[in-house]
Amino acid sequence: MLACPICYDLLIWNGDLVFSVDSTPRSILKCGICKKVYSGNENHLDLTVTSGSGEYEPASSENFRLPLVSFLYERGWRQSFTILGGFPGPKREFKLMRDYLKPVIGGTIIDASCGSGMFTRLFAKSGLFSLVVALDFSESMLKQSYDYIKQEENISKENLILVRADIARLPFASSSIDAVHAGAALLCWPSPSAGVSIQS
């Protein structure tokens, strides 16, 4: 299901047969067409076009790459959405999502712009999906998500992976994803129209 974000050819995977939070950081993936190699970091796969090199992003994205913002996100920042933005709160939001996603239960879900993984963990703990992909551009958010996952006692680390990717160049094969969740995320995307035009 993982594809090269440059040419969208399926990536050749050298890792375990089962996706897991623990195995994917040790993995190396290679594109058979453009020969680009992607590798895992300490806690996630880096499947960005510029994987392994420095890159600049607009301030809207850069703010979420700051470790302090990642640290504060679930420690008050996200909770303010209930008061300031009219969000019903994580538990109610998850119930609404679960009801909406009933037709694709059992499939693969991407938690796009997952942040610190609040909803990633809810999707994983629910057992409703065969694979949960926590996806974000921010390395520090993915690290925070990884740390929270490691602290959870009742969450399966199998069939759950963390992926760094650009929302406008999603690294997935055509028709391999059943659902995408992007809670309160579009404001962070440099190009929302590119982010919602997912390949079919």
With respect to residue 126, please indicate whether it lies within any of the assigned structural domains: yes
With respect to residue 133, please indicate whether it lies within any of the assigned structural domains: yes
Average pLDDT in the 88-112 region? 88
pLDDT digits (tens, 9 = 90+) for 25-42: 778 899 999 999 998 888
With respect to residue 110, please indicate whether it lies within any of the assigned structural domains: yes
State pTM to two decimals. 0.79
For residue 74, is pLDDT > 80? Answer: no
Residue 91 is predicted with a pLDDT of 80
| Alpha helices per DSSP H over 58-164 | 59-62, 67-72, 80-85, 90-100, 118-126, 139-151
pLDDT digits (tens, 9 = 90+) for 114-147: 989 989 999 999 999 999 999 999 899 899 999 9
For residue 5, is pLDDT > 90? Answer: yes
Average pLDDT value over all residues in the chain: 81
Cα-only R_g, the chain: 16
Residue 144 is predicted with a pLDDT of 93
CATH (domain of 118): 3.40.50.150
Answer with the residue of higher pLDDT: 168 or 31.
Answer: 31
With respect to residue 4, please indicate whether it lies within any of the assigned structural domains: no
With respect to residue 7, please indicate whether it lies within any of the assigned structural domains: no
From the list 49, 53, 66, 37, the residue with the least C-alpha distance to 138 is 66
What's the domain count of the chain? 1
State the angle between helix axes of 118-126 and 139-151 in degrees (0 to 180), rounded to the nearest 10. 40
Max CA distance (Å), the chain? 49
With respect to residue 53, please indicate whether it lies within any of the assigned structural domains: no
With respect to residue 71, please indicate whether it lies within any of the assigned structural domains: yes
Write out the residue range of the structural domain in which residue 143 sits. Answer: 66-194
With respect to residue 42, please indicate whether it lies within any of the assigned structural domains: no
Q: What's the N-to-C CA distance of the chain in angstroms?
A: 13
